[in-house]
Each structure stands twice: as C-alpha cells, then as structure tokens.
C-alpha cells in the first residue's frame, strides 16, 4: 500500500516556525522519526518512509502555499496513488490552537493551499488533517498572524501536538480514515 502525505507550508527561512508552516513541521517530524531525509525533486521536497509494510511518501511542496496543488497532483500521478490515499496536512484558523480535525473531504474554508489542490484535482474529495492555529488576532491582522511565529505558550505545547499529529497521520496509513477520525477527532 502506498500513501502520499502532503504537508503544506512556504519555503524559505522567513516562513520557518510560522503558524502557516505547521504542515511542513509535521512532515519534518514524520521523516525525522523514521530516520528519513528529504531531497528536492520536481515541485517538492520528498522523502520515503516505510511504516508497518506501507510506503509513506512525504512531500513538502516547493511551489509556495498558494500553488500547492501542482505538487500534489504531480506526485499523485508520478507515484500512481489514489486520492483516497492522500492526506493533506494544513493549518486552520477556524479551529482552536492544537485541535486536530481529520476529514475525508470538504471545502477549502478560505485556505488558499486547499483551494489550489481542489482546483488541480478537480475535486474536494480528498482527506485532510486540519491543525488548529486559533484566531487571536485583531481586525486586519490575519496575514500577520498566520505568517507569524508561535507565541511562547504555543511553542511549549507544540512538540506534543506535532507528535499527536504524526500519530494520526500514521494511523491513517494503517487503520484507515474512518477509524483514524474516530480516534483523533475529539
């Protein structure tokens, strides 16, 4: 069984450790735990992880967030993986900080990365793990908040939350979407 895990974020040091890059952070943690290394190939940084007899292909699109769909479509086709075995890891303003929601499908919720993936795949019928980043920002400050660094309190909680997100991702590859949703959507 083959799976594609697409952690969304923006490339470049100025975006490192920002709320918008939580997808990259989770994907990095998955690779690190497995002792895998990323290398840059077409549209993405790519790593292969073996987990319980499964091939778990990790990508971090190098197309910037708003064009993530090009990388996701390319890698699904290149690896011949069905959309049902795709999991997109993404930040979500609508969820409280640290909340994880796994869904089989859905709208982009105003998220430009999901919007582009939906356009490129011509469907919103693909699994995603939404990681809540909260929405504690003033009027007109959304972009600064999303592209901002985690505060001290969030920073302390992040390692455990990333670990939980990794567990949910690997659960998706072993016990399936429905059971993973039951286990992690609390």
> pLDDT by residue (tens digit) across 161-181?
999 999 999 999 999 999 999
- Greater model confidence, 186 or 132: 132
Residue 186 pLDDT class (50, 70, 90 cuts): confident
In contact, 185 and 104? CB cutoff 8 Å: no
In contact, 45 and 64? CB cutoff 8 Å: no
Q: Which one of the listed residues 20, 57, 111, 116 is annotated catalytic?
A: 20
Does 51 participate in catalysis according to the annotation? no
What's the Cα-to-Cα distance from 97 to each of 49, 87, 91, 181, rounded to whole Å? 28, 20, 10, 18
Residue 138 pLDDT class (50, 70, 90 cuts): confident
User: Does position 60 have pLDDT exceeding 90, yes or no?
Assistant: yes
User: Does position 46 have pLDDT exceeding 90, yes or no?
Assistant: yes
CATH of 2-184, one of 3.40.462.10, 3.40.50.300, 3.90.550.10, 3.40.50.1470: 3.40.50.1470
Domain ranges of the chain: 2-184
Mean pLDDT, the chain, rounded, equals: 96
71 in helix, strand or coil?
Answer: helix
pLDDT tens track for 121-136: 999 999 999 999 999 8
Percent of the chain whose pLDDT exceeds 90: 96
pLDDT tens track for 71-104: 999 999 999 999 999 999 999 999 999 999 999 9
pTM: 0.96
What's the Cα-to-Cα distance from 153 to each of 40, 97, 98, 108, 149, rounded to whole Å? 33, 11, 12, 28, 12
DSSP 8-state assignment for residue 19: G
Per-state percent for the chain, helix, strand, coil, to nearest 5: 45, 25, 30
pLDDT tens track for 140-150: 899 999 999 99
């Amino acid at each position: 069984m083959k799976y594609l895990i697409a952690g969304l974020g923006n490339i470049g040091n100025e975006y490192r450790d920002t709320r918008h890059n939580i997808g990259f952070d989770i994907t990095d943690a998955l690779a690190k735990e497995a002792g895998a290394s990323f290398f840059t190939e077409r549209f993405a940084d790519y790593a292969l992880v073996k987990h319980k007899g499964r091939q778990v292909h990790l990508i971090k699109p190098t197309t910037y967030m708003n064009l993530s769909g090009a990388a996701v479509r390319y890698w699904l086709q290149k690896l011949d993986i069905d959309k049902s075995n795709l999991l997109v890891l993404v930040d979500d303003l609508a969820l409280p900080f640290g909340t994880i929601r796994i869904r089989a499908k859905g709208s982009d919720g105003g998220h430009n990365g999901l919007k582009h993936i939906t356009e490129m795949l011509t469907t919103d019928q693909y699994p995603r793990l939404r990681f809540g980043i909260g929405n504690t920002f003033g009027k007109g400050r959304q972009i600064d908040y999303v592209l901002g660094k985690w505060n001290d309190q969030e920073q302390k909680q992040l390692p455990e939350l990333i670990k939980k997100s990794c567990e949910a991702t690997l659960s998706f590859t072993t016990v399936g979407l429905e059971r993973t949703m039951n286990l992690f959507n609390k």
